Chains A and B, each alone.
Chain A
């Protein structure tokens, strides 16, 4: 059974930093892309970032480019999102999701971790 468990969310002040993590199990980790998708309270889904299995391909939404950094540790089956210069509009539930093989449709999702940016 595929499991994706996010952690690291919380309350942070504007301009602050936070590092999200996602622990993965139940699949061959290096075969699949991993992704972050967020959802602001009461709003729709917003794709944030993707990283390929070998970390050779990395993509970001324009809204986070230059502030967020995605990475993965294939030895520990984990995904990370370093978030710097946080803004109020970054407040959202952040989901970790496993992508399809060679594609970025999102097969499996974690339950999400809430990030709140507020003074």
Chain B
């Protein structure tokens, strides 16, 4: 099983600042089998990024994904008030298709 580790656990930032979230895999997940999701309280998750760097439909370009192999990054260039949420990475290269534990981005 591929274990995903996300860091930091919590990121405290102000609106307008840049956020950088990390996702590290215990094994190579391939160059493209990594997705990022955003979840707000009481809501279902929303797909942000798939294939490590492709934005899902309707996702603003302030969200960007990068990385390959075992190290991946989600960047939010300028935080908007609606971006404060929990972010999860998921690998879908090998079953079980595991999620990371999440990074909470909260308002400083």
Contact = CB atoms under 8 A, between A and B. Distances in A.
A in complex with B: yes
B84 to A, nearest CB: 17
A44 B46 CA distance: 14
B95 A50 contact: yes
Nearest to B51: A105
A45 B96 contact: no
A interface, by DSSP: helix, strand, loop or mixed?
A: strand
A105 B50 contact: yes
B102 A103 contact: no
Interface size bucket, B side? 20 to 34
B50 A59 contact: no
B59 to A, nearest CB: 12
Contacts of A45: 37, 39, 45, 88, 90, 99, 102
Given A60-B96, A109-B46, 20 more contacts: A45-B39, A45-B102, A47-B97, A47-B99, A59-B95, A59-B96, A59-B97, A61-B96, A62-B1, A62-B96, A103-B33, A104-B97, A105-B35, A105-B51, A105-B90, A105-B92, A107-B50, A107-B56, A109-B44, A110-B44
Interface of A: 37, 44-47, 50, 59-62, 95, 100, 103-112
A109 B48 CA distance: 13
B12 to A, nearest CB: 19
Contacts of B96: 47, 59-62
Contacts of A60: 96
B44, B51, B90: most-surrounded residue (chain A CB, <10 A): B44
A-B CB proximity, top 9 nearest: A109-B44, A105-B35, A104-B92, A105-B50, A59-B95, A45-B99, A47-B97, A44-B102, A104-B97
Contacts of B102: 44-45
